[in-house]
Amino acid sequence: MQLPARFNTLAPSVREALTGDLVEVRGLSRRALVTDRSMLSNDVILILDGWAFSYIAFASGARQITAIHLPGDLLFPRAAGSGDSEYGTCAVSNLLIGTLPDALVGAGTALENIVQDARVQNAAILEAWLANMGRRDAYARTAHLLCEMHTRAILAGLTANATFQMPLFQEDLGDILGLTPVHINRMMRRLREGQVAKVGFGRVDILNLENLMAIGSFDDHYLHPAGGQERGCCQTNGAAASRCV
């Protein structure tokens, strides 16, 4: 079993444990359902290849995408949601996943640290998305998301330069950023005309990374909550705050 590139730095014993503990390795087609609120389980799902997103869908027809999952990411299925909403995870592209049984990822197992780090990182990304949605305008919000996707694509071994595949529709981007597809189209045109980034046909070309980071006030620290050993893909030079403001 070929593990995603982000696991290349793990100790051989941990890689062997991860490979050996995977069960129910299966492929899913694009836009297939991975989990929903009926699939209550304490097992963990590992994305081996492809992209997925988690979402909340409302009875009104509205949808909010709450997370993007790349190769190497862990999913934690749960039953949740109120009477007027549904939670789930959907394949964005063709997807290959494996299941890690709950008994093999708990306290005292070889995979305990990997699972705990993934939980911390998932929470850190969700927190960053909340701040992005709540305190940035549409242009900055869009730039921040592209910076994050670029950094995560590098960490996942999907690119080593300023170009990467991103199989998300404009509607998907709108449901991440709380914008209409028309508004997303305007933001993409503004980035393109400003020679900052080009997005289209499932591909992102970052033309000026420094400007894109400045527009989105992007710092990648939240993508490395386990100690920052992988930092450096995409950083700002601002000093850390020393007090609450």
pLDDT confidence of residue 156: 94
Domain range for 215? 137-234
CATH code for position 171: 1.10.10.10
Kindly state whether residue 245 falls inside one of the protein's structural domains: no
Residue 42's pLDDT is: 83
Same domain, 223 and 167: yes
Give the end of a domain, one of 77, 104, 135: 135
**Is residue 134 within 8 Å of 194, Cβ to Cβ?**
no
- Choosing from 135, 156, 172, the residue where a domain stops is 135
Distance CA 8, CA 12 (A): 9
d(CA 57, CA 60) in angstroms, rounded, equals: 8
Q: Which backbone phi and psi does 183 adopt, to 5 degrees?
A: -65, -40
Q: Which of 212, 219, 166, 217 is nearest to 190 (CA)?
A: 212
**Rounded CA Rg of the chain:** 18
- Do 161 and 67 fall within a single domain? no
Tell me the residue type at 203. Answer: R
In-domain check, residue 243: no
Q: How far is CA 117 from CA 16, 73, 144, 226, 228, in A?
A: 18, 11, 23, 6, 12
Q: Please check whether residue 240 lies inside any domain of the structure.
A: no
Rounded Cα gap, residues 199 and 163, in angstroms? 10
Q: Do 50 and 94 touch, CB atoms closer than 8 A?
A: yes
CA distances from 241 to 87, 127, 244, 245 (A): 36, 18, 8, 9
- The verdict on 188 and 209 lying in the same domain is yes
pLDDT score, position 237: 42
Looking at the fold, whether 162 and 66 belong to one and the same domain comes out as no
**Residue-level pLDDT, tens digit, the chain, 245 residues:** 789 988 988 889 888 888 888 888 999 999 999 988 777 678 899 999 999 999 999 989 999 999 999 999 999 886 555 555 688 999 999 999 999 998 888 888 888 889 999 999 999 999 999 999 999 999 999 999 999 999 999 999 999 999 999 999 999 999 999 999 999 999 999 999 999 999 999 999 999 999 999 999 999 999 986 544 444 445 444 444 445 44
Query: Within a domain: residue 43?
Result: yes
Domains held by the chain: number? 2
Quick check: helix, strand or coil at residue 163?
Answer: strand
3-state secondary structure of 36: strand
Instruction: Say yes or no: 49 and 168 in one domain.
Output: no
- Last residue of some domain: 119, 135, 151? 135
State the pTM of this model: 0.89
CB–CB of 217/144 below 8 Å?
A: yes
**CB of 179 within 8 A of CB of 138?**
yes
